[in-house]
Structure 1
């Protein structure tokens, strides 16, 4: 159920949210060329909202400007993916440790609610088994965003958001383009107890193990793609 906000949302905000969703979900693929005019035609927004959205996405690192050529969805390379996971292995556990320890009662409730939805079989409202991995990933993403917010550290929150954008892109790209399953976050009832009892160190250790495992598996998948011999990673399907 959506919540109606009393504050109006500008067309630029709406365009930004749509384009950001399209990029993070890889409906707009890494390396894809974009122009204000083509995006205006496909989305129905005017040039001005599209320009505002692209400016914000550029600041977030999701698109880059190509002088006299328009824009490009920020490409992924094997090195950039490797670097991303290396940084996430440093930032992710510490974000979780601080978030678990410092969360307010309301923030803990939000985190536990999101994590509960990520436990297999815990959300009876979604019966389509094909959607379960995606829905669990969305729940975990929401929980980690709440954990980052609970740190009350603006720098850490910005770094987390930037990392989460690219991690989600990589997982979406792999999920859509390979039959090899990626490891899902090991969310179980023990996770809920760690949050409830503010056991940040144990939660951080679990995140570190997961990121390390995911790092290895993602690189193993990508190194089998023909496109890794080039400078940018592209989908292998036609």
Structure 2
């Protein structure tokens, strides 16, 4: 049998780090790990049956994705998104996603429209079943479809870096302010405008859709603050 190369341990560590990264990321996005939850290397290593090195690598990647924060005093914790950051993220989305829809609408294919319809159907089913994480994933895919079809790589990359935090904000907000059906109806209207190849209307509807959610965030943060301060 051929001897292992000197690179094999590095490859193994990378594979393990990928697995830890994927598992922790899924737990964060589904809110199985709530914002502010401490992520201790030793505990995660025991949970996944690995050494601390791939866990450390995974946590560094998660920090780069904006999903965890690192502090000398608190260690590594799941990202806590305050009102200021949430508003800034959605302000940026208003500009970028309006542009994405305007660029994508003239070039969307029949297959793209079929994919969009299927996503809206799955989202509606998830909303009716109160499966918030699944509804958020369908919404993410719907928005990402326009970004991908914009054929503008820097735009797609910029929006991609926001999407995980957008999903967390959406699910947290829906717990306090269940606006999913309103947003689903807005998605339908955006798709109808795109089907008509009216890129200006489709872009404006996307901007208004994101702005409406942003303006509702204040209500969410006020409610969340009240819940946190109320006696148990």
Match of 1:182 in 2: 179
Note the C-alpha offset of 1:183: 4.4
Match of 1:18 in 2: 23
Partners in 2 of 1:197 and 1:173 — Cα distance? Answer: 34
Note the C-alpha offset of 1:169: 0.8
Partners in 1 of 2:25 and 2:230 — Cα distance? Answer: 23
Report if the CA contact (8 A) 1:115-1:187 is conserved.
Answer: no
**Structure 1: gaps (5+ residues):** 1-8, 229-233
Report if the CA contact (8 A) 2:190-2:205 is conserved.
Answer: no
With over 3 angstroms needed to count, the CA separation of the structure-2 counterparts of 1:59 and 1:189, relative to structure 1, is: closer
Report if the CA contact (8 A) 2:136-2:170 is conserved.
Answer: no
Match of 1:75 in 2: 80
Report if the CA contact (8 A) 1:33-1:70 is conserved.
Answer: yes
Structure 2 counterparts to residues 80-159 of structure 1, below 5 A: 80-118=85-123, 120=124, 129-131=128-130, 134-159=133-158
**TM-score, normalization: structure 2?**
0.76
**TM-score, normalization: structure 1?**
0.75
Report if the CA contact (8 A) 1:34-1:71 is conserved.
Answer: yes
Q: CA offsets, 1:128-176, max 9 Å, x none?
A: 9333555443222112122211223232122212222112111222334
Partners in 1 of 2:81 and 2:230 — Cα distance? Answer: 14
Match of 2:163 in 1: 164
Q: CA offsets, 1:41-86, max 9 Å, x none?
A: 3344443332232222121111233348642222212211222222
Range moving further from structure 2, 128-137 or 19-28: 128-137
Secondary structure of 1:223's aligned partner: helix
Partners in 2 of 1:237 and 1:43 — Cα distance? Answer: 36
How many equivalent residue pairs?
A: 218
The structure showing larger relative contact order (alpha-carbon pairs under 8 Å, at least 6 residues apart) is 1
Secondary structure of 1:65's aligned partner: strand
Report if the CA contact (8 A) 1:95-1:148 is conserved.
Answer: yes
Secondary structure of 2:179's aligned partner: coil
Q: Which has the higher helix share?
A: 2
Secondary structure of 2:32's aligned partner: coil
**Structure 2: gaps (5+ residues):** 1-13
